[in-house]
Amino acid sequence: MKIGIIVYSHTGNTLSVAERIKEDLIAKGHCPDLIGVIPSIDDPKVKPPIEFKSAPDVDGYDVLLFGSPVWGFSLSTIMKDYLTQLPSLSGKRVGCFLTHAFRYAWLGGNSAMKQFKGLCEKKGGKVFATSIVNWSSKGREEDISSTVERLSSYKTT
């Protein structure tokens, strides 16, 4: 079972969650790859179609765990365009995680997750888990722990 953790992170928050998921999977005996989505211009104002320095290839992975920040009540433009440009996620198990900073998930996190999940499903991926971390909450560590737990407990059937 080959696992790819594919993450876009502008200021490092989402990347730090991805690293925690990677550590947990390693502790469970897996060998996941953690790969960054890197745009040529790393600026929230960049408009699609986005050019990428690194647009990770998903071929060869059975399980894909995608991570992104929320931008403007939506999925970050960078992750949105990366997923849009992907050929297919058919036959793959997919987990999606988001980080955001506004106080409540209804201020962006929930709608961004709906988009995130929808884009993965549109590409044929089977979404087995979603999770949102509120970076400015006192409960951040709990959010991270439950995200790690959900994303690393993928179903194979």
Ligand X SMILES: Cc1cc2nc3c(=O)[nH]c(=O)nc-3n(C[C@H](O)[C@H](O)[C@H](O)COP(=O)(O)O)c2cc1C
Provide the binding-site residues for ligand X, judged by CB under 6 A. Answer: 9-15, 44, 69-73, 99-102, 107-109, 135
Beta carbon of residue 124, minimum distance to ligand X (angstroms, whole number)? 26
Residues 126 and 128: their CA atoms lie apart, in Å, by 6
Would you say 10 or 126 has its CB closer to ligand X?
10
Q: Which residues contact 35 (CB under 8 A, 6 or more apart)?
A: 4, 5, 6, 7, 54, 56
Would you say 102 or 128 has its CB closer to ligand X?
102
Beta carbon of residue 120, minimum distance to ligand X (angstroms, whole number)? 18
Beta carbon of residue 106, minimum distance to ligand X (angstroms, whole number)? 10
Would you say 93 or 108 has its CB closer to ligand X?
108
Beta carbon of residue 29, minimum distance to ligand X (angstroms, whole number)? 27
Residues 65 and 42: their CA atoms lie apart, in Å, by 21
Q: Is the dihedral of CA 114, 157, 30, 1 positive or negative?
A: negative
Would you say 75 or 119 has its CB closer to ligand X?
75
Cross-strand pairs, 74 = 71
